[in-house]
Structure 1
Amino acid sequence: MRTTQSRGQYLESSRPTSPLLTSDQPSTLFTQQQMISISMGREVSIDEIQRSIPHCRFHYILILIHLLLYVSTSFIVYNFAYFQMSPRYKCTFTDPSSPEFLYTSECTKEQICSADSPNQVCMGDKSINQVNSIEITEQNKNHKLIKWDIQWDSTHSLKNWITWLNLHCADNYKIGMFGSLYFAGFLISCLIFPPLSDKYGRKDLFLMGGLSQLIVISIMLLDKSIEIQLIMIFSLGFAQPVKSMIAYTHLMEFLPGRESKISGVFMFLDGLVIVITPFLIHLISQDLNMLLFIALLFNVVSLVLFLITRIPESTKYLIQNQKYIAFEKAIQRVKSLGGLSDQQIAKTFALLKIYELQQRTKVVIDQQLNNTWNKNSIERLKGAKNIAYNLVLMTISWTCVSFSYFMISFFIKYLPGDIYENQSVSGLSAFAFLFAGPISRKLDNKITLTLSFLIATLASLTMVVFMQLGISPEDGLSIFILLIRCGVNLAFCLVFVIHTQLFPPNFLATSYGICNFFCRSVTLFAPIIAEVEDKSIPMYTLLAACFIGTLSSFSLRQMTEKEETLITSDYPSISNTPRDRHMSISLIK
């Protein structure tokens, strides 16, 4: 009886009670005695408090805001192949035996760049190259190329980095630098912003990331010098983790229990950018400033809606950091935007009071457990051989799936057939994101992950065999690209799902960081390899990545009960939530 009274007096004397928790509340709310009884019995979790918030109009507004920001830069990143694609050229020749006779014919990049010391003149949208002499083919080896320009009537001649920056004869490494700098910016940013979001919250970093992208894209539209474009590409990559990790986390923490569905829809709509881009180019404009304008528009609309609606900080972050008054203000904002009544959110406040009371009594114990884990974590991991073994294999799997995904994105412009058809058909692989969740719930994830890599491996091998035998697979090439991307996209999702099954919860974040760092480091080389002169090398590299991914995923081992106990015995209350699994899908992308 004494314990009950002290708990009651403590509850009464704690911070001012929310106005929604007064003595004249309806009978459906928790009474003080019920709250005390619950606090002495089962433990109220953060997830339970989150789930008590009714799904309402606020969540649809939040989803729209985040979707616009999430998809905005995809119009740039997923279309690097278009931004780096050389146009179609036409050349004017003359026959030395009949200097007065001129004729025009289509020519290649290699032909116009093989002249000695060309005198290159830029004229508006055209580049004219005047040379003294050039040998073209055996049939017209005595004919001279006197000038060349771009076939602007061709659908494959785009106003992009090649034409804006006059990179027609640029070294391959310089073109590959665009993609590599993007990944370099992403890699560095991954080491900076996630820890800041845990300390200062998601909301302010969301705004900072959105504003950064707005400035970067605006400069890309206004200044077409190669130095500025390269700096902006690096800056765009630097801002990406704020979008794909922090802003994404902000959304998912408002949607407990719906992470799988929303994540699949996000990835699907994001992947459809690859499908609709060819139609935009054909129907609207071949000037890729259009894609920059679309990205800028989506970014601006997202920021304006975020500011107008005054979206609050993540409620989960506020509870985890014991900012209870700020949590109550956030819920009031959710109530206002969602059109909720006091009755509908009263249970949330009641659960918060119980949770707050429970946390105050556990603070000393938690500190002791944290100290124990910090001192013994390395020693414990040394005894868990399968965890170290799986960490190496999962790092390899992450690296293979990330490298394969972006290698095919950069290299697709060099594959036989029409790039628009190849991109559109392969973009349908976005449907794989919708099936990843159901598949992971019904089938063994290790086997499914292995089969995903195997599908991509067999499709890549078929393309390599056709290439070596001199068989032209142009008519069915897009199908093979579709199979590669379907396998890689499915592996993209499953690599995170199985990750949560191989590592204990209190080592999960660390293992994510290790895998993400190494996979980004290797993916830096994908754009450069895609631009090498021997175009068989990128295909062999893609095949090797898919094959290695197949072997590494097949070799994974399940964590034993002894190893799980070895790691998690000090943290019995930590759980592996669906949010932790599906939030992570955006890390590589």
Structure 2
Amino acid sequence: MALELEEAFGAAGEFGGGQRRLTAFLVLLQVYVACQSMLIVLVGAAPEYHIDQEEVPVSRAELAKHVHFASNFTSIVTEWYLIEQEAYKVGLASSLFFAGLLIGNITFGPLSDKLGRKPVYISGSLTNLTFAVGIAVYALLGYCVREWRYLALVSNTPGIIFFLLSFMLPESPRWLYSQGKTAEAEHVLQYIALGNGKERLNLKLKPSAGTLRKDESTPGILNLVKHPVLRWRTVILMYIWYVCSFVYYGLTLNAGELRGNLYLNVALYGLVEVPAFPLCMFFIEKSWSGRRRTMTSFLVFAGFACILALFLPTNAGLLFSPTLLALCGKMMVSAAFNIVYIYTSELYPTVLRNAGLGVCSMSCRFGGILAPFVPSMKSLGPFVPFVVFGISGLSAGFLTLLLPETLNKPIAESIEDLQIPKYQVLRNKKVNQSEENT
């Protein structure tokens, strides 16, 4: 007997041993991704130094004769003397990494819908929590490996292993089924069943409708601009995503600029995100807070934490230090970053959800591109980076108040649903249900 896709999943095993092994593989991948994102913090770390003459030499050769570094680790800064007028190159290297993420987002996002999830490596949900732990792991690696070339080698080598192991990942059966590739979807479901310790099953799926017919069309990305409601919603969301990325990566990369132990600072900037995830999950489901108020609160608190760092002396104790406020700001913006994915998906109608998330994700990458340059603004003043992050967080938080609440509200299926008040949508559904019952 032919089965529906959900029935076939039930027979193969919804989340058995096979899926858990694949999930563990993808979760471990996040540790590698975190090391890549944080690579420049230690590889490009600038230790304290002094120049034994009043005028700063212009040429690098002369600078090498007169500069003395005070730390026991090496970096591209100590090897190539990327200080003074050459310091911008460290931020540029990090910025180019995030520019690569932007290109990947533009290229591989649409490609995943055409070629499938496995070829472009989006066949699972990777947790932000593991990413945070990955930052702490990278700090431990940096503490053990002080020579920057070896550190880069150790951090990058797992990428080869993950690439080779990625061939064991099966394609998404849901994607295969949606594309009309029923036989291939059946084969993957058999693979899942065997991985879950089940005997070989005779799984037969019902024929799939496949892709849209030629006379059918899906609303395009231009609809985000054409409709006034979606236009303003998209502009605000793009800015919020940009700020979340800008402040998140800016504070993370700023870990190398703070006083105290460099490796401990980097580890704390990762581990401080761990409580952020349960915090945001708790508040967004409460009727008195919801998505909008929780998002606003976290962004505003992150902004205030950065601003308050201006008024604390750098030699204060741990409980009243700028470092502690920066850590609090990082936790708050990390929680906001987690919420924005859920909130954004609920603000767009189903037919435009992928387009909306794609546009917001691209604006997020621009925040990452600019973030590495902010720590270098300390040359204008020691707390200038915190002012920039603080104003960004506050502005994004207050702009969130212009968006509607989505908790316990029906999600629009089409663009037309956005023109109907939420209570009317609910009333229509109740009327339809009562008519069906009678």
Q: TM-score, normalised by structure 1?
A: 0.62
**Residue equivalent to 1:501:** 346
Deviation string, structure 1 residues 88-110 (Cα, Å, up to 9, x no partner) = 44xxxxxxxxxxxxxxxxxx2x6
**Residue equivalent to 1:198:** 113
Contact residue 280 and residue 294 of structure 2 kept, 8 A: no
Q: Which amino acid counterpart does residue 296 of structure 2 have in structure 1?
A: T
Higher gyration radius (CA): 1
Give the direction of change, closer, same or farther, for the CA distance of 1:273–1:290 in structure 2 (3 Å limit): farther
Shift of 1:564: 6.0
Contact residue 255 and residue 266 of structure 2 kept, 8 A: yes
**Residue equivalent to 1:187:** 102
**Residue equivalent to 1:53:** 12
Give the direction of change, closer, same or farther, for the CA distance of 1:472–1:118 in structure 2 (3 Å limit): same
Distance across 2 between alignment mates of 1:315 and 1:271:
30
Shift of 1:171: 2.2
Deviation string, structure 1 residues 285-337 (Cα, Å, up to 9, x no partner) = 21233443333342233234334xx3321212111111111112222322343
Which has the larger displacement, 484-493 or 427-436? 427-436
Q: Which of 449, 452, 461 matches 2:307?
A: 461
**Residue equivalent to 2:424:** none
Distance across 2 between alignment mates of 1:189 and 1:419:
31
The equivalences for 1:125-136 within 5 A come to 128-129=64-65
**Residue equivalent to 1:398:** 241
Identity of aligned residues (%): 19
Q: Which of 429, 433, 443 matches 2:277?
A: 433
Give the direction of change, closer, same or farther, for the CA distance of 1:368–1:381 in structure 2 (3 Å limit): farther
The equivalences for 1:8-407 within 5 A come to 31=1, 44=4, 46=5, 49-50=8-9, 52-54=11-13, 55-89=15-49, 108=50, 114-116=55-57, 120=61, 128-129=64-65, 147-151=66-70, 154=71, 157-205=72-120, 247=121, 249-252=122-125, 263=126, 266-282=127-143, 284-307=144-167, 310-342=168-200, 345-346=201-202, 349-350=203-204, 352-353=205-206, 356=207, 359=209, 367=213, 370-371=216-217, 373-374=218-219, 382=226, 385-407=228-250
Distance across 2 between alignment mates of 1:338 and 1:515:
37
Higher strand share: 1
Shift of 1:474: 5.7
Distance across 1 between alignment mates of 2:216 and 2:107:
23
Q: TM-score, normalised by structure 2?
A: 0.82
Deviation string, structure 1 residues 41-87 (Cα, Å, up to 9, x no partner) = xxx5x556445531332213212322333321321312422222223
Structure 1: segments with no counterpart, 5+ residues = 1-30, 36-43, 90-107, 122-126, 130-146, 206-246, 253-262, 570-589
Secondary structure of the residue aligned to 1:286 is coil
Q: Which amino acid counterpart does residue 538 of structure 1 have in structure 2?
A: P
Contact residue 41 and residue 256 of structure 2 kept, 8 A: yes
**Residue equivalent to 2:428:** none
Could you say what the CA RMSD is over the residues aligned between the two structures, in angstroms? 3.2
**Residue equivalent to 1:479:** 324
Deviation string, structure 1 residues 359-395 (Cα, Å, up to 9, x no partner) = 38xx8xx537733x549x9679745x43322212111
Distance across 1 between alignment mates of 2:224 and 2:341:
23
Shift of 1:517: 2.0
Distance across 1 between alignment mates of 2:96 and 2:192:
40
Q: Which amino acid counterpart does residue 529 of structure 1 have in structure 2?
A: V
Contact residue 12 and residue 190 of structure 2 kept, 8 A: no
**Residue equivalent to 2:256:** 413
Which has the larger displacement, 551-560 or 388-397? 551-560
Give the direction of change, closer, same or farther, for the CA distance of 1:272–1:163 in structure 2 (3 Å limit): same
Deviation string, structure 1 residues 187-212 (Cα, Å, up to 9, x no partner) = 1222211222211122233xxxxxxx
Shift of 1:404: 0.3
Shift of 1:423: 2.6
Give the direction of change, closer, same or farther, for the CA distance of 1:367–1:116 in structure 2 (3 Å limit): closer
Contact residue 505 and residue 568 of structure 1 kept, 8 A: no
Distance across 1 between alignment mates of 2:367 and 2:417:
32
Give the direction of change, closer, same or farther, for the CA distance of 1:271–1:340 in structure 2 (3 Å limit): same
Contact residue 302 and residue 393 of structure 2 kept, 8 A: yes
Distance across 2 between alignment mates of 1:184 and 1:119:
28
Deviation string, structure 1 residues 196-232 (Cα, Å, up to 9, x no partner) = 2211122233xxxxxxxxxxxxxxxxxxxxxxxxxxx
Secondary structure of the residue aligned to 1:340 is coil
Q: Which amino acid counterpart does residue 514 of structure 1 have in structure 2?
A: V
Count of equivalent residues: 408
Distance across 2 between alignment mates of 1:51 and 1:484:
43
Give the direction of change, closer, same or farther, for the CA distance of 1:119–1:286 in structure 2 (3 Å limit): closer
Distance across 1 between alignment mates of 2:224 and 2:137:
50
**Residue equivalent to 2:388:** 541
Give the direction of change, closer, same or farther, for the CA distance of 1:117–1:465 in structure 2 (3 Å limit): closer
Give the direction of change, closer, same or farther, for the CA distance of 1:116–1:267 in structure 2 (3 Å limit): closer
Give the direction of change, closer, same or farther, for the CA distance of 1:480–1:189 in structure 2 (3 Å limit): same
